[in-house]
A and B are shown apart, each in its own frame.
Chain A
Amino acid sequence: MEKLVDVIDVCKIYNPGENEVRALDHVSLSINAGEFVAIIGQSGSGKSTLMNMLGCLDTPTSGTYMLHGMDVSHMTDNEQSDVRNREIGFIFQGFNLIQSLTALENVELPLVYRGVPRKERTQLAQKALQVVGLGNRMDHRPQEMSGGQQQRVAIARAIAQAPPILLADEPTGNLDSGSSREIIEIIKKLYREGRTVILITHDPGIAKQAKRIVTISDGRIKSDIINPDADV
């Protein structure tokens, strides 16, 4: 199988010197295309740091990160932007929609930066919104929608241009249990359709639905297991 993510001995150290924080401490992790991986750990264990690394928002202090065969550990800001645009669909805990834009415009954003022509862009965005069941909410602004709906818009945005990796950081952290279940179902459906999903959570109940569970603690990988009881 194709190795999509290959993190090799990566460290991320904040405030090097005096009271340094080793947010990632010699982490190595490979993820193949089509996997559904949950990364779980306690608060402060380094999950978000890892997510930023995997999502090309951050570069490691040491070590190498190969994404889709490219060494992305030492790229310039603009190169990283392009890689993020092409390879990663982000789903954030706080939705991170732009309040002044409609649902459709939010979903179109990555396509805008991709340089997709307007017509095609709108079509792709509409299709993505239909996938998450928001075909009838396209012209609504985020503040006119419930948390669950906002997160679905964010998912539509993440899948609109079909990036190889879906990267979700606590996607249900701000949601009630009903909406949470809905969102997880959508993510699982996307996985079943063949997408690679990396899901970061501190909720074991959510993690155990993934095929593979990576546990992280104090910036290190404590365990990396195939989950036989995965419920997808």
Chain B
Amino acid sequence: MEYIKGALASIIDNKARSLLTMLGIIIGIASVITILAIGNGLKFTVGGELDDMQSGGVTMVINPKKTDKFLTGNEVRAIGEQIPEAYGASPSVSAYMDITGRYKTSGSIRGGNENAIYGQTESIVSGRFYNSDESESGSAVAVLTQEGAVMIFGTTDAVGKTFELQYGSQSREVMVVGLLRSTEEQIKNAYPRSGVESYNYPTVYVPYTLLTQGFGMPGENITSYQIFPHPGEQDPASLRARRVTENILGIRGEGAVSVQSYASMLATFDRILNIVTYVVAFIAAISLIVGGIGVMNIMTVSVTERTREIGIRKALGARTDSILAQFLAESAMITLIGGIIGMLAGYGLTFIVSHFMSFPPRVEIADVLMVVLISTSIGLFFGIYPALRAAKMDPIEALRYE
């Protein structure tokens, strides 16, 4: 305790120098925190989205390298009818758009046909799902979750209301025809908010043709679609979907039509994220080591400058370990303070970055503890040499030092 107080006093006495010494640690910790927070946020968002899709169905992909053929919306519907192990099949187009209802927000727009209802875990509570005619005619109708309705209109009483979807310079007025159930909890926690800083955004289900015809997004020539297998029948359903698709298109061969596995997508995503994490962690580690060496350097200078003080302390009865503790406390405090500043800077940076990247940063208590632990350890480790030098000084020579 006494040592920590002394260490703080000494750091404050040498503000400018202490801050410069901390710089390496600050940069190192800031980059660690930034990558962790961004990584967590990204994992959370993208992971969540992938989970979503996975719950909805199995995606079948026609390999554009093997054939330039494609399916029409009616063919997709027909495929679904030929798979006894599945509820149906639907095209799948999605986008992220600005939404203006009573409130302005933005959200994920998922386009499909009437079978997309089978991708939902929750049922319709009011109104209806869009039908097959609307699916193919580019109708401006939409189904929301109750949670999404609150975000857009401030109420779950949204059937019949209209809102505007905006994608680039184009916009369309869309009418709500149905609502999917949300939990009480979700409804309670949903409130109108705008922009990318919100952790939750509404999901809007529309006919895929609204996106392809209405907004001119690619997808009218269908090269991938979703099937919604009965529980536990994913494998036979997707196998049959493959055969049927091959028949319709008149193509054969390994990989012409394939199942897109979300587990593998998730794994790929994780791998990329991990590589990025390792690269940044490597840079951070180097800057932490450089920072640590800087601390060692400054502490060595400080020990030399304070030789006389060390002599005095020893003469007054300081033991070797008291001196050791005093200087270790000082280097640990320097790196700890540097670590905390770095952490704050890192979170600041994360919030700025996440603002442009439309996903929520995640601050985790474990990260904070890790910063405290790492930065203190660096101070202790790189402080050992100068502290030992101080502790081993001969009191007479130290007292004589000018």
User: B315 and A96: CB pair below 8 A?
Assistant: yes
User: A57 and B315: CB pair below 8 A?
Assistant: yes
Say yes or no: is B316 at the interface (Cβ < 8 Å to chain A).
yes
Say how far B11's CB is from chain A's closest CB, in angstroms: 11
Contact flags (1/0) for B13-41 with A, using CB distance below 8 Å?
10000000000000000000000000000
Per the 8 Å Cβ criterion, residues 21-77 of A in contact with B are 52, 55, 57-58, 77
- Please report whether the interface of chain B is mostly helix, strand, loop or mixed according to DSSP: helix
User: B399 and A86: CB pair below 8 A?
Assistant: no
User: A82 and B399: CB pair below 8 A?
Assistant: no
User: A90 and B315: CB pair below 8 A?
Assistant: yes
Q: CB < 8 Å: which of A57, A85, A86 contacts B396?
A: A57
Once the chains are docked, how many angstroms separate the CA of A113 from the CA of B311?
Answer: 14
- Which residues of the other chain, A, contact B321 by a CB distance below 8 angstroms? 78
With known contacts A52-B396, A57-B396, A58-B396, A85–B10 Cβ distance under 8 A: no
Q: CB < 8 Å: which of B309, B319, B322, B399 contacts A98?
A: B309
User: A109 and B313: CB pair below 8 A?
Assistant: yes
Contact flags (1/0) for A75-100 with B, using CB distance below 8 Å?
00110011011100010100011111
User: B316 and A85: CB pair below 8 A?
Assistant: yes
Say how far A63's CB is from chain B's closest CB, in angstroms: 18
Say yes or no: is B240 at the interface (Cβ < 8 Å to chain A).
no
Q: CB < 8 Å: which of B311, B314, B316 contacts A157?
A: B316
Say yes or no: is A5 at the interface (Cβ < 8 Å to chain B).
no
| Chain B, residue nearest A113 (CB) | B317
User: B320 and A100: CB pair below 8 A?
Assistant: no
Say yes or no: is A138 at the interface (Cβ < 8 Å to chain B).
no
Say how far B397's CB is from chain A's closest CB, in angstroms: 10
Say yes or no: is B68 at the interface (Cβ < 8 Å to chain A).
no
Once the chains are docked, how many angstroms separate the CA of A112 from the CA of B311?
Answer: 16
With known contacts A81-B317, A96-B399, A113–B322 Cβ distance under 8 A: yes
| Chain A, residue nearest B311 (CB) | A96
| Chain A, residue nearest B12 (CB) | A100
| Chain B, residue nearest A99 (CB) | B309
| Chain A, residue nearest B321 (CB) | A78
Once the chains are docked, how many angstroms separate the CA of A85 from the CA of B313?
Answer: 10
- Which residues of the other chain, A, contact B311 by a CB distance below 8 angstroms? 96
Those 10 A-B pairs whose CB atoms lie nearest each other, nearest first = A85-B317, A113-B317, A110-B316, A81-B319, A78-B319, A96-B312, A84-B317, A57-B395, A98-B309, A109-B316
Beyond A92-B399, A113-B313: 13 further Cβ-contacts under 8 Å?
A: A55-B315, A77-B319, A78-B320, A82-B317, A82-B319, A96-B312, A98-B309, A98-B313, A109-B316, A110-B316, A113-B317, A113-B319, A157-B316
Question: B interface vs A, CB < 8 Å?
Answer: 2, 9-10, 13, 308-309, 311-322, 395-396, 399
